């Protein structure tokens, strides 16, 4: 009897030892009894039935970082871009997380990839490259409902990188170079056009000023002729003196010219001038 008692005590001690479970901080364990969900063990010391119960899943309650690998995405204008993301999730319902999906980590990673392709596929290239915040917010909304069904909460989604593919980047660089060359040609042509306009305006203004100067000179000449005509109405001595002075000055310039070899002067200079004035 004593031996049987010792054996019984030993078996109970072994059973208790086998049933003791210490759950570390940051984890929760799922216990199944006879293959069926029984309980969730929170951090701390627990004792379970070692014969009929067992710990089936160990799930972290800390934030989980899911790195979504880089993938090719085709935009609405048939451009190929490369993008990758990172998601921060947290298990909030242990039972749903382990029984609602085969592998919630892989499921969330595929969900992020699929939603990312769908969102960027509805954008044009330039819009997709410059709308990182919009893509991030739409992506979080797209996966939040599915994650909730799996007992998960999406804390944040970040777009790590979004860039054109190498071939597309080369095409964009060629397009940018062509655009810069076009702008340079337009600027040059515009400058030449402005120069031609300014030159024409300058010529027009010069011609206008020249015409005004000729008009003023003509008026001055007409006024001088009028004054001379009035002066010689009664006495032509003033006209004789004026013409004689002009005649002498002209002869003087003619005599000093390098091309003149011979200068002929009338013998009666005063008579010649008077003949010009009187018309005789």
- What are the angstrom distances between the C-alpha of 24 and each of 57, 58, 60, 171? 14, 10, 10, 55
Q: Are 239 and 231 in contact (CB under 8 A)?
A: yes
Q: For residue 106, what pLDDT band results from cuts at 50, 70 and 90?
A: very high
Q: For residue 274, what pLDDT band results from cuts at 50, 70 and 90?
A: low
Average pLDDT over residues 7-27: 80
Closest alpha carbon to 59 in 95, 102, 22: 95
- Give the pLDDT confidence score for residue 88 in this predicted structure: 93
- Give the pLDDT confidence score for residue 280 in this predicted structure: 44
- Give the pLDDT confidence score for residue 217 in this predicted structure: 79
The model's pLDDT over 186-235, given as tens digits with 9 standing for 90+, comes to 888 888 888 888 888 888 888 888 888 888 877 777 777 676 666 666 55
Q: How many CA atoms lie within 13 A of 30 on its CB side?
A: 17
Which CATH architecture is the domain 64-170 placed in? 2-Layer Sandwich (3.30)
Query: Tokens standing for 135?
Result: 């893509």
Q: What DSSP state is assigned to residue 78? A: S
- Give the pLDDT confidence score for residue 204 in this predicted structure: 86
- Give the pLDDT confidence score for residue 80 in this predicted structure: 86
Average pLDDT over residues 254-268: 60
The model's pLDDT over 74-104, given as tens digits with 9 standing for 90+, comes to 888 888 889 899 999 999 999 888 988 888 8
- Give the pLDDT confidence score for residue 242 in this predicted structure: 64
Side by side, which strands form the sheet with 64-74?
64-74, 80-91, 152-164
Q: For residue 162, what pLDDT band results from cuts at 50, 70 and 90?
A: confident
Of 120-129, 149-158, 209-218, 223-232, minimum mean pLDDT range = 223-232
The model's pLDDT over 18-27, given as tens digits with 9 standing for 90+, comes to 778 888 998 8
- Give the pLDDT confidence score for residue 165 in this predicted structure: 77
Looking at per-residue pLDDT, the higher value among 106 and 229 belongs to 106
- Give the pLDDT confidence score for residue 213 in this predicted structure: 83
Q: What is the DSSP string of 91-149?
A: E--HHHHHHS-S-HHHHHHHHHHHHHHHHHHTS-HHHHHH-HHHHHHHHHHHHHHHHHH
* Domain ranges within the chain, ordered by starting residue: 2-60, 64-170, 205-232, 235-280
Looking at per-residue pLDDT, the higher value among 273 and 126 belongs to 126
């Amino acid at each position: 009897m004593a031996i049987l008692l010792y054996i019984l005590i030993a078996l109970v001690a072994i059973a208790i030892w086998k049933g003791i479970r210490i759950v570390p901080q940051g984890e929760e364990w799922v216990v199944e009894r006879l293959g069926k969900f029984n309980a969730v063990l929170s951090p701390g010391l627990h004792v379970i039935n070692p014969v009929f119960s067992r710990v089936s899943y160990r799930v972290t309650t800390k934030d989980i970082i899911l790195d979504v690998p880089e993938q090719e995405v085709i935009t609405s204008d048939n451009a190929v871009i490369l993008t990758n993301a990172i998601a921060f999730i947290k298990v909030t319902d242990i039972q749903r997380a382990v029984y609602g999906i085969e592998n919630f980590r892989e499921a969330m990673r595929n969900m992020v990839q699929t939603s990312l392709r769908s969102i960027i596929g509805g954008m044009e290239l330039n819009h997709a490259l410059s709308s990182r915040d919009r893509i991030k917010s739409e992506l979080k909304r797209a996966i939040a409902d599915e994650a909730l069904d799996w007992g998960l909460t999406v804390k944040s989604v970040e777009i790590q990188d979004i860039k054109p593919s190498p071939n597309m980047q080369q095409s964009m660089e060629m397009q940018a170079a062509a655009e810069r060359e076009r702008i340079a040609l337009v600027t040059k042509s515009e400058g030449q056009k402005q120069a031609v306009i300014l030159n024409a305006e300058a010529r027009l203004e010069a011609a206008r000023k020249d015409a005004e100067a000729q008009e003023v000179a003509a008026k001055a000449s007409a006024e001088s002729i009028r004054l001379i005509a009035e002066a010689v109405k009664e006495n032509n001595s003033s006209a004789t003196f004026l013409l004689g002075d002009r005649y002498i000055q002209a002869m003087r310039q003619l005599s000093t010219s390098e091309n003149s070899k011979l200068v002929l002067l009338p013998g009666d200079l005063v008579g010649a001038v008077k003949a010009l004035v009187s018309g005789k």
